[in-house]
A and B are shown apart, each in its own frame.
Chain A
Amino acid sequence: MKTIICRHCDMVSHVPNMPSGYVAKCIRCESVIYKNSWCSPSGMLALCLAALIIIVPAFYFPLISIHLLGITEGTNLLQGALMMIDNAPVVAFVVLFCAVIAPTLLISSIALSSACLTFNYHPAYLPKILKITYILKHWSMLEVYMVSLMVAIFKLMNYADLYFGVGFYFFIALLLLNLTIISNYSNHSYWERYINE
């Protein structure tokens, strides 16, 4: 029977045969050690492509429009980070990285590795892509941005009239797709497929 070592406590466990959608937990620390995702690489590829299409309007179109000093102006996700570059470059970079660069790269790299596994194509860079995916997983913070946006909206309601922009709806769609992708993606099973084929 196949065994697996828990990455959180080093205990060795058997991997049982599980129906899809189930997870296996470590016998000692009860962390999830193995996921049997219901989503195949081809399904994952479809989800990622949908997310990559939506990512463009979600970042480009205004999230909120505000009526201030007689002018109504829209604000999109990129503007805020780019406007801070002169005053606080570190802050601007972190905001840009966690809200834009990391999610885009993460979805692209999952899309690429899913495409490779779906079409049975094994380029030399595939291990690198899987490694990048593993690192980027920590840095994609779209859900934090969503809550920040709500906090900002409540703060701004004191000053002026607010309207939701087109980008806001795209952003919600992106957020839902992103959550589905991240919760179903299993780095380990991608490595397994890569090695076995």
Chain B
Amino acid sequence: MNRIAIAGKTGIKQGLQLCKICGNYSLQVEHPTECPICLNEISQRKKNSLQKTWAFLITSIIFIFPANLYPITYLLKNNTLYPDTIFSGILSLVDSDMPGIALIVFVASIVVPFLKIIALAVIAFSVQNHWNLNPKKQLWAFYLIDWIGKWSILDLFVISIMVAVFDKGHLLSVYPGIAATSFTVVVLTTLFAANNFDTRLIWDAQTDE
């Protein structure tokens, strides 16, 4: 039922399309919208990949401001409320002589989200404007941000542990603040942005010489 693909040429040039879910390929002309093997939806490239990536990226850029400016946790101690932003939390870790932990939290909750947004934006721009950057380097940059992306959830897990441990009412409690929700939105939208980006576009944008 399938024509065998010739190695060393791209699928799109041979009129073939790959099913991302089952990993099999089929002729685009014969099965334009449905994979003949697993019956899932199929297309030569992810549909509207760049638009979706940009939409999620812009959302994450908007939410990164409240995430960093508003308090992420409130500590209630003897009836007094102490707010903590992401950055002040890191500073207090440095003050209490834990530079290693401070570095982990700094990388996971500040460096990773910013780096991810910038790197994805650069890759998306270079694909759109045919900048002809080295495709392999772009792909490895994408792999890196895809892999480190999930580590920014770290801060949310830490908050959940803190909330569970400190639950002594007015004597000693921790509550999540507005920034916790904004930060969650940032993490989710950057994950979705990376998921919606089709890395094959990097190669499509290369002008053949």
Contacts and interface: CB of A to CB of B under 8 A. Distances in A.
Interface of A: 3-5, 7-14, 27-31, 64, 66, 68-69, 73, 75-76, 79-81, 83-84, 87-88, 90-92, 94-95, 98-99, 127, 130-131, 134, 138, 141, 144-145, 147-149, 151-152, 154-156, 158, 187-188, 191, 195
A191 B191 CA distance: 26
B11 A79 contact: no
B10 interface: yes
Interface of B: 4-12, 14, 16, 18, 20-25, 37-40, 93, 96, 98, 101, 104-105, 135-136, 139, 143, 150-151, 153-168, 171-172, 175-176, 180-181, 184-185, 187-188, 191, 195, 199-200, 202-204
Nearest to B146: A138
Given A8-B139, A9-B200, A12-B11, A99 B22 contact: no
A8 B200 contact: yes
Contacts of B136: 29-30
Contacts of B93: 155
B87 to A, nearest CB: 16
Contacts of A29: 135-136, 139, 203
A145 B114 CA distance: 21
B190 to A, nearest CB: 13
Contacts of A148: 153-155, 157-158, 161
Contacts of B14: 12
A73 B172 CA distance: 14
Contacts, number: 183
Contacts of A99: 157
A75 B165 contact: yes
A88 B150 CA distance: 20
B176 A88 contact: yes
Contacts of A27: 7-8
Given A69-B168, A147-B154, A148-B157, A154 B98 contact: yes
List the 6 closest pairs (A to B, CB-CB), nearest first: A80-B160, A148-B157, A80-B164, A188-B23, A152-B161, A88-B176
A14 B21 contact: no
Contact of A144 (B7, B150, B162): B150
Contacts of B187: 94
A151 B159 CA distance: 10
A162 to B, nearest CB: 9
Given A80-B160, A98-B153, A144-B153, A10 B18 contact: yes
Contacts of B38: 127, 130-131, 191
